Structure 1
Amino acid sequence: MKSVLQIGFGPLGIQTAKFIAQKQEVQTVAVVDINERLIGKNLNNVDGALTNQAKIFGSIKSAIDELKYHPDVAIITTVSSLKKLIPQIEEVAKFRIPIISTCEELSYPWDLQPELSLQLDSICKKNGIACLGTGVNPGFLMDYLPSVMSSICKKMDKITVERIQDASVRRIPFQKKIGAGLDLEAFRKKEAEGTLRHVGLKESVYLLANSIGLKLDRITESLEPVIAKQDVASDAINVLKGEARGVVQIANGYINGDCKIKMHFKAAIGEPRSFDRISIEGTPNFSSEIDGGINGDIATCAITINSINSMLKAKPGLHTMADISVPGFIN
């Protein structure tokens, strides 16, 4: 039985705890969260679907002090920003606990944030632990999976990855992060602030490029609102005609002016059809599509848990999905 220290108990952390509760080989033994209303409660007091009576603490130290042992792994589901994540990783690292995080910028930070990447790698190696950033996207669908699929190619000229999803079924924080329900002025304001976007698209381009040995010399990224042509709604957000129902982002990776990697991400409330598609131009030419798409919230929690065994085998340092042994389902 692998023991897990969960850090962060928002919607994603709670869902992760629910998935762990259904496992035979993994158990949440403690949770850390900054929400004062949660501190001191047991998990089953927070959500009726959880029978686990593990306690929620206000700090990692207090959790370790009460447990009187170091859990096998820590799962961090708190922030998207690498800069904000570093203090959390540093605190966990002091207790020599390997780390898996859903922080999008951690999925492949080496090209975009090299100094912070080196800092994190140094922290992990100094304390003898491995650290991984993963999730469904970034971390799997638009980077790791197409890199695996490229392995059957004799020749490869270009990879196009598309992720189109109806955001109505996603968690509320995700719907807000893509700008659903905002008028165009508010949408552009949040875009300028950097608080409105799918985080991790450039990271996915770099992760895929690195995995298949491409040395990109330029990456571009665009972001536009998806405008509602009629009123639409999810369970949480009403979107009026003319407002944004989501976002579309496109990132391209170039070598000598030729686009070698194209990523098309679109998430919007009321999107008529969801799918994930990978198209490879080369030998052979082929396209593979997942009709209906993969539910991001379910898959992010699942891959985070299912990466535990691979992470426990990894050497100390900062890792990406391309570095660890292939993860598989954990009972």
Structure 2
Amino acid sequence: MKHIIQVGFGPLGIKTAQYIAKKETIKTVAVVDLNPEMAGKSLNEFCATLSDDVYISQSVDGALNQLNFKPDVAIITTVSSLEKLIPQVETVAKYGIPVISTCEELSYPWDLQPELSKKLDDICKANDIACLGTGVNPGFLMDYLPSVMSSICKDIKHISIERVQDATPRRIPFQRKIGAGLDMEAFKKKEAEGMLRHVGLKESVYLLANSIGLKLDKVTESLDPVIAEQDVASEAIKVAQGEARGVEQVAHGYVNGNCKIRMHFKAAIGEPRSFDRISVEGTPNFSTEIDGGINGDIATCAITINCINSILKAKPGLHTMADIGVPGYIN
């Protein structure tokens, strides 16, 4: 049995705990969340299928003081920012506990934030732990999966990845992150503040490029609102005609002025068709599509759990999906 401490118990943390509760070989034994309204409550108060003898603490120190053993892995589902994540990892690292996090900027930070990457790598090595950033996207669909599929190619001229999804069934924080329900003035304001976008698209470009041996000269990214042509709604957010129902982002990776990687991400409430598509121009040429797309909330929780064995085998330091052992389903 592998024991898990979870840091962060929002919608993603709760869903992760629910999935862990159904497993035979892993168990959540401690939970940390900074929300004072959650302090001291049992997991069972948030979901009937969860434990009634694990209580939420407001600090890692407090959670571990209640245990008489060290958990095997920490799963952190809190922030998208690498800078904000590092102190959280450091708090866990001092206990010698390996970390898996859904922090989007952690998925491949080396090119975009080299100083912070080195700082985190040094923390991990000093405490003899491995740390991994993963998730469905970034971390799998637009970067790791196409890198695996590229292994059948004799040569590659260009790779195009598209992820188009109906955000209607996604968790509320995700819908807000993509600007659903905002008028154009509010959308542009939040965009300028850096609070409105799918985080991790550039990280995905760099992860894929590194995996297939491309040294990129430049990476560009554009962001535009997806405008509602009629009123649409999810369970939590109503979008009037003319308001943003989501976001569309496109990133390009260049070598010697030539575009080698193109990534197109679109997520919006009321999107008529969801799909994930990988297209390779090379030898052989091919295109493969997942009709209906992969539900991001389900897959992010699942891959985070299914990387546990891989991170336990990894050497100390900061890792990406490109350099750990291949993860697999954990029963």
**Range class of TM-score, shorter chain:** over 0.9
Q: Distance in 2 between matches of 1:213 and 1:249?
A: 24
- Quick check: 2:42–2:51 contact (8 Å CA) kept in 1? no
Please list the CA deviations of residues 48-76 of structure 1 after superposition, one character each: whole Å capped at 9, or x if unmatched.
Answer: 23245312111111111110211000000
**Cα offset, 1:288, TM superposition:** 0.4
Give the Cα separation in 2 of the matches to 1:48 and 1:175.
Answer: 26
- CA offset at residue 205 of structure 1? 0.2
Unaligned runs of 5+ residues in structure 1 are none
Question: Hey, what's the Cα distance between the residues in 2 that align with 1:251 and 1:46?
Answer: 39
Q: Which residue of 2 aligns with 1:2?
A: 2
Partner Cα distance (2:271, 2:51) in 1? 36
Equivalent in the alignment of 2:220: 220
* Structure 2: distance between partners of 1:305 and 1:293: 20
CA contact (8 A) 1:38 1:46 kept: no
* Structure 2 partner of 1:63: 63
Report whether the alignment pairs 1:131 with 2:131: yes
Q: Distance in 2 between matches of 1:229 and 1:328?
A: 42
CA change 1:301–1:52 in 2 (3 A) is farther
Which residue of structure 2 lines up, in the alignment, with residue 97 of structure 1? 97
Instruction: Indicate yes or no: 2:65 matched with 1:82.
Output: no
Aligned counterpart, 1:311: 311
C-alpha distance in structure 2 between counterparts of 1:46 and 1:287, whole Å: 42
Residues in 1 aligned to 2:203 and 2:274: alpha-carbon distance in whole angstroms:
22
How high is the sequence identity, in percent, across the aligned residues?
75
Alignment of 1:162-201 (within 5 A): 162-201=162-201
Structure 1 residues 179-328: aligned runs within 5 Å: 179-328=179-328
CA distance, structure 2, for counterparts of residue 24 and residue 253 of structure 1: 42
Q: Does 1:42 align with 2:15?
A: no
SS of match in other structure, 2:326:
coil
Q: Which amino acid aligns with 1:239?
A: V
Cα deviation 1:247-289 (Å, max 9, x = unaligned):
0000000011110000000000000000000000000000000
In the alignment, the residues of structure 1 paired with residue 148 and residue 318 of structure 2 have an alpha-carbon distance, to the nearest angstrom, of 21
Distance 1:53 1:191 in 2: 42
| CA distance in structure 2 between the partners assigned to 1:165 and 1:106 by the alignment | 23
Give the counterpart letter for 1:232 in structure 2. Answer: V
CA 1:240–1:321 in structure 2 vs 1: closer, same or farther (change >3 Å)? same
Task: Check the 8 A contact 1:246/1:266 in 2, yes or no.
Answer: yes
> Which TM-score applies when normalising by structure 2?
0.99
Q: Which residue of 1 aligns with 2:149?
A: 149
In structure 2, give the amino acid aligned to 1:186: A
Aligned CA distance change for structure 1 residues 221 and 56 (closer, same or farther; 3 Å)? same
Q: How far off its partner does 1:195 sit? A: 0.2
Structure 1 residue 36: deviation in Å? 1.0
Farther-moved stretch of structure 1 (237-246 vs 46-55): 46-55
Q: Give the C-alpha shift of residue 46 in structure 1.
A: 2.1
CA RMSD of aligned residues (A): 0.6
Q: Answer yes or no: is the 8 Å Cα contact 2:21–2:49 preserved in 1.
A: no
Query: 1:21·1:52 contact (CA, 8 Å) conserved in 2?
Result: no
Deviation, structure 1 residue 225: 0.2
Query: Could you list the per-position Cα deviations for residues 108-132 of structure 1 after superposition, in whole angstroms to 9, with x for gaps in the alignment?
Result: 0000000000000000000000000
Report the secondary structure of 2:220's partner residue: strand
Q: Which runs of 5+ in 2 are unaligned?
A: none
What is the CA–CA distance in structure 1 between the aligned matches of 2:103 and 2:150, rounded to whole Å?
26
Q: Which amino acid letter does the alignment assign opposite residue 247 of structure 2? A: V
Q: 1:318, 1:22 → 2: CA distance?
A: 29
Deviations along 1:122-155, whole A, 9 cap, x unmatched? 0000000000000000000000000000000011
Q: Which amino acid aligns with 1:330?
A: I
Q: Which amino acid aligns with 2:213?
A: G
Alpha carbons of structure 1 residues 192 and 100: separation in structure 2 relative to 1, 3 Å: same
Number of corresponding residues: 331
User: Which one is further off, 39-48 or 308-317?
Assistant: 39-48
Counterpart-to-counterpart distance in 1, 2:45 and 2:296: 26
Q: Aligned partners of 1:34, 1:70: CA distance in 2, in Å? A: 21
Q: Tell me, in whole angstroms, the C-alpha distance in 1 between the residues paired with 2:63 and 2:214.
A: 44
Paired with 2:240 and 2:67, the residues of 1 have a C-alpha distance of 50
Could you say what secondary structure the match of 1:164 adopts? Answer: strand
